[in-house]
């Protein structure tokens, strides 16, 4: 099984000016990612921290010990907490089945994905510092993910993405649009667990203005749609993060066809 150290040794970091994208190499760098996540999710947004999280000003859970942590670093800074300005958590099936399982399985039945014979990758805890939310940072994150996908021969990516707030009514058209236009193939379709299932098929397809609806979709989900993602059946209320979640499924051949040539042509 490849480790973060193996990855960083065999797949070079990606550089763009003062910026670098790579996996976290030690606990101090993971701690800095948890600090960034706390600032974004709990201080800037409206997630609800536990008393321990609040005291430490860190976002953490049991999965942090087993996932790889992709980082974007601003190397013009000196302190590691200032350096880490973007992050994603990455969790492969070959690792997760023996080490901690999947975060997504708390909200979705993912048996179809787990039966896929090739390697799959769970994405989570994506965030970027408010001062660095631009195309360059997101491109660096996706370049890092693309390298990881190639290194581990990953065929499908999946994970939870969120709408802010916990009221369905304001986003019923968005959920309905996703259900009618982007539902995942049945053999790999995640389904929200029964006791948390929120029906996304709220409005008839004929009642939805697709062009106007797409404009209202949150940027991260819109980005996944541009890559050709599918969505699972059912949304889920996440009380801790004050969000309504959907499950994203993305075949990596779509990503590689559309973006790999572009990434490799960029000036490092």
Residue numbers of the domain that contains 130 = 4-265
Q: Which one is predicted more confidently, 187 or 11?
A: 187
**Residue 180 DSSP one-character state:** H
pLDDT band at 15 (very low <50, low <70, confident <90, very high): confident
The DSSP code for 57 is T
Mode of pairing for the β-strands spanning 154-164 and 236-238: unpaired
pLDDT at 261: 52
What is the spatial distance between Cα 129 and Cα 140, in angstroms, rounded to a whole number?
Answer: 14
Indicate the burial class of 15 (C-beta count within 10 angstroms; 0-12, 13-18, 19 or more): middle
**pLDDT given for residue 170 in this prediction:** 96
Q: State the residue for tokens 């974007």.
A: 72
Tens-digit pLDDT profile for residues 155-184: 999 999 999 999 999 999 999 999 999 999
Which tens digit of pLDDT belongs to each residue from 47-57?
Answer: 999 999 999 99
- Domain at 223, CATH number: 3.40.630.30
Structural domain count, the chain: 1
CA distances from 88 to 19, 64, 128 (A): 16, 11, 9
Give the span between the Cα atoms of 228 and 60, in whole angstroms: 30
Closest CA to 192 of 247, 229, 230: 247
* Residues in Cβ contact with 167 at an 8 Å cutoff, skipping those fewer than 6 apart: none
Contact 220, 161 (CB under 8 A): yes
pLDDT in tens, 199-240: 999 999 999 999 999 999 998 899 899 889 999 999 999 999
Which token pair is 103?
A: 């975060």
Cα–Cα distances in angstroms (integers) from residue 91 to residues 60, 104, 119, 215, in the given order: 15, 11, 11, 30
What does the alpha-carbon distance between residue 218 and residue 231 come to, in Å, rounded to a whole number?
A: 14
Indicate if the pLDDT at residue 30 is higher than 90. Answer: yes
pTM: 0.88
């Amino acid at each position: 099984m490849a480790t973060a150290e193996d990855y960083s040794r065999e797949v070079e970091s990606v550089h763009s000016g003062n910026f670098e994208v790579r996996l976290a190499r030690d606990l101090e760098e993971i701690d800095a990612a948890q600090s960034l996540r706390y600032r974004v999710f709990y201080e800037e947004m409206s997630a609800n921290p536990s008393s321990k999280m609040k005291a430490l000003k860190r976002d953490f859970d049991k999965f942090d010990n087993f996932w790889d942590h992709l980082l974007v670093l601003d190397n013009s800074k000196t302190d590691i907490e200032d350096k880490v300005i973007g992050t994603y958590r990455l969790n492969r099936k070959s690792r997760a089945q023996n080490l901690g399982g999947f975060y997504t399985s708390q909200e979705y039945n993912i048996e179809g994905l787990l039966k896929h014979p090739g390697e799959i990758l769970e994405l989570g805890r994506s965030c970027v510092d408010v001062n660095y939310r631009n195309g360059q940072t997101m491109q660096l994150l996706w370049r890092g993910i693309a390298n990881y996908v190639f290194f581990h021969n990953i065929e499908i990516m999946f994970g939870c993405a969120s709408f802010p707030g916990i009221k369905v009514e304001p986003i019923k058209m968005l959920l309905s649009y996703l259900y009618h236009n982007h539902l995942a193939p049945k053999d790999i379709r995640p389904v929200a667990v029964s006791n948390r299932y929120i029906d996304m098929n709220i409005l008839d397809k004929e009642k939805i203005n697709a062009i106007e609806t797409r404009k209202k979709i949150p940027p991260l989900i819109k980005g996944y749609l541009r890559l050709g993602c599918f969505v699972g059946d059912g949304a889920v209320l996440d009380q801790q993060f004050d969000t309504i979640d959907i499950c994203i499924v993305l075949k990596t051949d779509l990503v590689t066809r559309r973006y790999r040539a572009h990434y490799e042509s960029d000036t490092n």
